[in-house]
Amino acid sequence: MKVTSIRDFIDKATVYFKEDEPILITRNGKVAGLYIPLEDADSISLEVRKELLYKFGEYISKSLEKAETKEENIIAEFTRYRKACS
């Protein structure tokens, strides 16, 4: 996995997007983001994937609380989506 700064990632984004390797993006030495090519998601360790899933879940949960979205509405929307896809 490559590691690069935000500035470098922005400057070379078109080059990085063509690569197959995941890129850890840092700001002041701390993790700011992660670019994962969809074709190569298995190259990310299980521990990192678990942490990412936890962080995404935490972010989504906070966003839903802020929007005062109810669980019943999410389930109903998901059910409608599944029916539309089948």
Same domain (yes/no): 4, 29:
yes
Burial 71-83 (b: 16+ CB within 10 A, else e): eeeeeeeeeeeee
CATH assignment of the domain containing 37: 3.40.1620
Percent composition of the chain: helix, strand, coil (DSSP 3-state, to 5): 60, 15, 20
Q: What confidence score (pLDDT) does residue 41 get?
A: 66
Tokens of 75: 């389930």
Total tally of structural domains belonging to the chain? 2
Q: What confidence score (pLDDT) does residue 40 get?
A: 63
Same domain (yes/no): 51, 26:
no
Q: Chunked in runs of 10, what are the mean pLDDT values of the chain (86 residues)?
A: 93 91 89 81 79 84 83 88 88
Tokens of 16: 């990085």
What is the domain range of residue 68? Answer: 45-86
